[in-house]
Each structure stands twice: as C-alpha cells, then as structure tokens.
Structure 1
Amino acid sequence: MTGPLTPMLTALLGRLPIGWLQLVHNKGRLAAALSGVAFANVLIFMQLGFLGALVESIRLPYTVLNGDILVSASDANTLFDGSPLPRNRLYQALGVEGVASATGFYYGRIDWKQPDGTIRTMDLFGVDPTGAPFRDPLLAAQVESLALPDTALMDSLTRNVPAGLYAGIAAGEPYRFETRGRELTVTGTFEIGGGFSADGYLVVSDQTFLRLFPARLPGAPNYVLVRLAPGAERGAVLAGLRAALPASDSAVWTLDEAAARDQRFQTTQKPVGVVFGFGVVIGVLVGVIIVYQVLSTDVADHIREYATFKAMGYPQRFFLGIVFEEAFILALFGFVPGVLVALGLYAAVAAGTGLPIFMPAARPVLVFLGTLVMCALSGAIATRRLARANPAELF
C-alpha cells in the first residue's frame, strides 16, 4: 500500500514513519499539498530567475569593454544615466602614473523602427575606432570599419528582429535603417544581448554618435576607459586617478566595481528589481500558508491519536518529529517537480525574450534549503495547539 519508502524511512528514522503514513493515507490531500509546494517553488524560481537575468544583463555590456578602470560622472548610477564628462578629464587621467592609455566613449539610446512598424530600443556605444575600446574579439576585429560615416555594428542577440537579417549581414549584405533623421548602415554583428531597458546594442563611431545626437558636445564623452601600463598596481593607479580628478564631477571605479554599483542600484532602487525581490518573498509566504494548511489539517484529523500519545507521556519533540517528517517529505517531493517546471520555463522565457535567464548550480540548493525551512516553520506553527492542550481536553 505504501510502497518501498515505508521500510526505507523506518530504517532511517528508527521508528515507524508515522508522518509518511499519515500523508499517503489521504492521497488526494497529498497531491494537492505537493502541487502547492511545487507551485511555490516555481514562483520563487521564476522571481529569482528574472532577478538573475536583470543582474546578468546589467553586467554584460561591461564585459566587452577593453579597460581596467572606468571614469564616469559623479552622478552616474547606471551606464545610461550619467552626465557627460569634460574631455579634460581624459587628459588628466593620461597624466597619472601607471596609466597606459585612456579613451572616451559616448553612451545613448535610440529607437529602431522596423518595417512592420514595431519599435526596438537600442543602447548605443559611440567609440573612437582607433582607440581599441573593446576586448571582445568579434567587436575588436570590426571596430575599425566604423570610421566610415553612419556605419554601425549590431547586437545579433537583439530581440525580435526581422527574420534573416543577421544571415544577410553575414553574407555581405549591409542592412540599412533610419533613426533620428539619419540612415545607418549595419555592416557587422557582435553578441551582448538585450536587457530590461533595451532590446539590444549598437556600436557606432564617436563622430556618427554626435551626428545622431547633435545637441551633445564633442568635448564631453560619457565615460573615460583607462588601461593600465604593464606592471602597474591597480590600487595605486585608482588612488592616483581619484586624487587627480575632481570628485565634484568625476568618479573612478574598476570595471567590476562599476558593474556591481550598477547592479546594486538597479536591483534596490529601480522598480523592476524591487518587484522581483518582493516576488521571492510572496512565493515563500504562499508556500508557508499552503504547507501550514495541510499540516494543521492533518494535526486536527489525528488529534485524538496525538492525545493518546501525549497521555502516555510522549514529549512535545515526538510530535514535532512527526510533523517535521511530513514537512520534509512535502519539501522534497514538491521541490522536484518545481525545479523541473522552472527549468522548462527558463528555456521558454530565454527563447522568447532573449533575456539571460538560466539556472546557476547554487540556486536549486538554496531554494531547496529555503523550502525545508519554509515547511519546517509551517510544521512548527501547526503543532502549537497540540503543545498547549491538556490530553483530557482532546477527547
């Protein structure tokens, strides 16, 4: 009736697995409970997946930059929202000991209207084609072609682009489109991937950027990308740059620090990051409520049996052991379908949106441990009535 798990649990627990037997006695209730735990797990996994995709999409553009240190405006919280820097900061940076080179780049955002009328939002790098601004091999090999006016490179992971567009570009057929009153010619591709604020990336020369944004001043890039001389100590160069550049309009960070600050700001200050964080909390609360309802109902159904045990002198930890046994079983058997469904949803979301959503190895472990805590907490709450009751009052 109860399958091979009963003797296995008996050997493991050193007693009859009362919790397991009570759960399988009512298979309908067990199925509903496992479905509830699996649903809570899927909800938590999806919120963590979206939060992870947000964090990863923020990091990706920093990974293609060929530099060790990034100088930004002091008010810059993300790549997109920083004020322009005076170009003089670039020359001041070059005067710091240990700096091998410094190049400025511009950052903006444009709308790309496709033939079907849909709009794609593209984040735009404006770079000096001779300044070796990218470490990504695919970008670095093509950046010199941007010296031609109104030439661009396009992110091949941009969401929802016309079918065959990238294949045509790879075959030597440039793609042309109009934006901000100018026609851009896309001659090559690279890979970064879209995020939550933009569908993908474009790279143009600094001169093309300024033609697209005529209100921007040529002497005011958004960022200065600094590369260290061989053998230079990064900490010393950071200190030198911070001493040389006025803190009133400039901030100096390593690329990793800049990416981490961007991630922290967008996950704690921007609505989308806060919403995903609250989603995780809601998933946990849903799981606690579902498991509590199941376990409290089970305790109520067997209250007379528990009263008999209590009258015989069994301590409260015995009853907690039974309920925690049920909680562990619900956590384990509810987690497995939850993680499998989440993996399928991750793949579907990644294919449909292009977001970098995936399952890190540590996430299932953390969610499972959280599920155990969630179920144990529910079990502890469910046994409160039994702990306070007089055995004589339970009959």
Structure 2
Amino acid sequence: MIGILKIAFKLLVNDKGKYAALLVGITFAVFLMVQMTSIFFGILHKSSSTVINVGAKVWVMDPAVNNVANSIPLPDYVLDAVRSINGVKFAVPLYSGGALVKLRSGVFQSVTVMGLDDNSLFGRPELVEGKIEDIYAENAFIVVQDEEIRKLGNPRVGTDFELNDHRGVIVGIAKVTASGLFGIPTLYTTYSRAIQYIPSTRFTISYILVEPKSRDAILHIQEQVRLLGYQALTQEELMQKISNYYKYQTGLGTNILIMTVVSFLVGLSISGQTFYTFILENLEKFGALKAIGAKGRELVYMILFQAMFTSLVGYGLT
C-alpha cells in the first residue's frame, strides 16, 4: 500500500502546472468559505462589543430588549429593588444612547455615548492617554481609539466639540476589546452628564449592571428580577441573545449563510472540475497500473490520497 501511495504522489506532483492549478482551485475554495465565515462571526462579535467592553457579570433590562444598541429605559425604582436583592454585591446604572456632535470643523457626526456610574465608574475602558479622574472635570468625555476615531477628526486630549448646545472636551483616549458594529465612534462620560447633555425620556437608565456576591447567587438574582417584571442575563446569555437577534430576526444571518454556501459551491466546482480533468488525463497511467496487477480498491485509495493531500496543502496555503 505504501508503494501505491508513493506512485500516487509522484503522479500528482509530476506535472507541476496541473498540480499548481489544483492547489489554486482548492486554495480559492477554502479562502471563500473561510472569508465568509470569518465575516459572519466577526459581525456577531462586534454586535456584542458593548457587553464585552463593559464586562458586567449580570445585566438587568426590559424583557423586550433584543439588541444592546436599542435599550428600553428602566424606572429608577428598579435600581433600588435590584440593590436590595440578597446576593447582589453592588448594582449601578448604565446609560447607553446615541447623540449628534458638532466638530470644530463644522462637521456633524453621530456618536454612541456611554454614561458610567458617577461613583464607581464601573465598566470604564482602559486609558492610553489621560487620567480616569479627569472624567469628573467640567464637560469631560473619553473617546475610544478604534478605526472609527478618524470620523471625529482624530481628536487628542484637549480637543473640544459641541453636543446638543453643550461644550464637550476630550480628557482621555481609551482602548477597548471590541469595536462597534455600525461604524459609529464611542464616547464615555459620567451617567449624570450623559442624561444632562442628551435629551431623553422620563426614565434614563438603559441597563443595570450587577456584580453578584458569588456565581451561585446569579440564579436567585435572575428569579427576583423576573418577579419585578424585568430580565437579568449573564454576559454570555446576553451575547447569545444578541447573536440570535442578528441571525434570526434580521437578514444578516440568512444572507451570510447563503453567501457562504455559494462560496462553497463555487470553490467546490472549480477544484472538482480541475481534479476531474487531472484524473481523465492520467487514465492511461491508472490503466497501466491495473494491467500489472493493481487492484481496483488500490486505485481508489490512490485517488482519495491525491484528493486529500491536495486539499490539505491548499487549506494550509490559505
């Protein structure tokens, strides 16, 4: 059998041009499938960027919320009720909303504003410039340094702008684990400043961030929040809920799935046709092997070995 496989390998690589064509076909097929799959999972990862960056273990929200970007404000009494639940170490409010800022150049730009709890600043990003204490200064904001920061004119510490007739000043530049999905820059400030600067409804709490005393206390907290008429989800559960929303309630999941299947079929047809032509051109050699005593199953093993070897090399090149 080893001798048969050696012959198969020599037949495969003997004609370098045909072998290169096979590798190109396989590599192209794998590239298409990996590319589309990566785009799909990248989008799902970015859709949960707020959850990942804040890092709270439990999120309290309205049961109708299916996407972290579209929050439903919670009444203030819910925060007090959650804080009184046995097993809660602490609970803080989080503001998350959109705003329109006017840059010094006169350009208007949409931004996402995250309002952190004034006392604890729980969920604050890691700063690469500035000091976190400066967020308490007048008109202070922290900008996230990601691929969207250029839309704000690549601001530095001290850059000012206008938000709803209020002056804002960049006092820090932060980095986060995951950037947003929709290409909108992100600003951080205190909760009180966010609700003061941005017009809002009667209720202003977007989410309540809960730190449980222990992992075992989460189920009890979730049950008590459910009795209040609201929903408490762990970080993993919220990320899964957001993923399900984009996969099943928008056209995103279906479209990416269709594109992935089409990519697979296109790549498979290219590589399959190329390999089929290779086999036809070597029929005489296979016939000669059959004539000198090679068994039919051994010829099948040769073809399977050639296909597997070419696939693995093509996958490796990708």
Q: Same fold (TM over 0.5)?
A: yes
Residues 314 and 93 of structure 1: CA distance in aligned 2, closer, same or farther (over 3 Å): same
| Cα distance in 2 between the residues matched to 1:242 and 1:33 | 58
Bigger share in strand: 2
In structure 2, C-alpha distance between the alignment counterparts of 1:117 and 1:306, rounded to whole Å? 74
Separation in 2 of the partners of 1:280 and 1:125? 35
2:304 maps to: 324
Look up the equivalent residue of 1:332 and give its one-letter code: L
Return the offset for 1:122: 2.8
Aligned counterpart for 1:239 among listed residues 220, 245, 264: 220
TM-aligned CA deviation for residue 295 of structure 1: 2.2
The aligned amino acid for 2:68 is L
Q: Does 1:225 align with 2:209?
A: yes
Residue type at the aligned position of 1:74? P
Structure 1 unmatched runs, 5+: 1-11, 339-395
Coordinate RMSD, CA, aligned: 3.2
Distance 1:319 1:268, change over 3 A: farther
Q: Secondary structure at the match of 1:91?
A: helix
Structure-1 residue corresponding to 2:9: 20
After superposition, the Cα gap between the structure-2 partners of 1:281 and 1:99, relative to the gap in structure 1 and judged at 3 Å, is same
1:216 matched to 2:201? yes
Matched letter for residue 159 of structure 1 = E
Instruction: For 2:188, give the aligned amino acid.
Output: V
1:295-334 map, 5 Å: 295-306=275-286, 315-334=295-314
TM-score by length of 2: 0.83
Deviation at 1:23, TM superposition (A): 3.0
Deviation at 1:272, TM superposition (A): 3.7
Q: How does 1:98-117 map to 2 (within 5 A)?
A: 98-112=87-101
Give distance in 2, aligned partners of 1:175 and 1:337.
Answer: 46
Could you list the runs of 5+ residues in structure 2 that have no partner in the other structure? Answer: none
Q: Counterpart amino acid of 1:208?
A: R
Give 3-state SS (helix, strand or coil) of 1:215's partner: coil
Whole-Å separation in 2 of the counterparts to 1:183 and 1:158: 24
- In the other structure, the counterpart of 1:51 is 40
Partner Cα separation in structure 1 for residue 103 and residue 311 of structure 2: 48
Call closer, same or farther: CA 1:155–1:266 in 2, change over 3 Å.
Answer: same
What fraction of aligned residue pairs are identical, expressed as a percent? Answer: 20
Q: What secondary structure is seen at the aligned counterpart in 1 of 2:150?
A: coil
Shift of 1:100: 2.3
Q: Secondary structure at the match of 1:197?
A: coil
Match of 1:191 in 2: 175
Secondary structure, in 3 states, of the residue corresponding to 1:234? coil
The one-letter code of the counterpart of 2:39 is F
Q: Highest relative contact order (Cα 8 Å, sep 6+), 1 or 2?
A: 2
Deviations 1:284-307 (A, max 9, x none): 223321221122223333445545
Which of 335, 338, 348 is matched with 2:315 structurally?
335
Alignment check: 8 A CA contact 2:5 2:302 kept: no
The alignment partner of 1:97 has SS state of coil
Q: Does 1:200 align with 2:185?
A: yes
CA 1:155 to 1:316, structure 2 compared with 1: closer, same or farther past 3 Å? same
Give per-residue Cα distances to partners, 1:235-254, cap 9 Å, x unaligned.
Answer: 33432442344464x21012
Q: In 2 relative to 1, CA 134–143 (structure 1 residues): closer, same or farther, beyond 3 Å?
A: farther
Match of 1:157, SS state, is coil
Aligned-partner Cα distance in 2 for 1:143–1:129: 12
1:281 aligns with 2:270: no
Query: What TM-score do the two structures reach when normalised by structure 1?
Result: 0.69
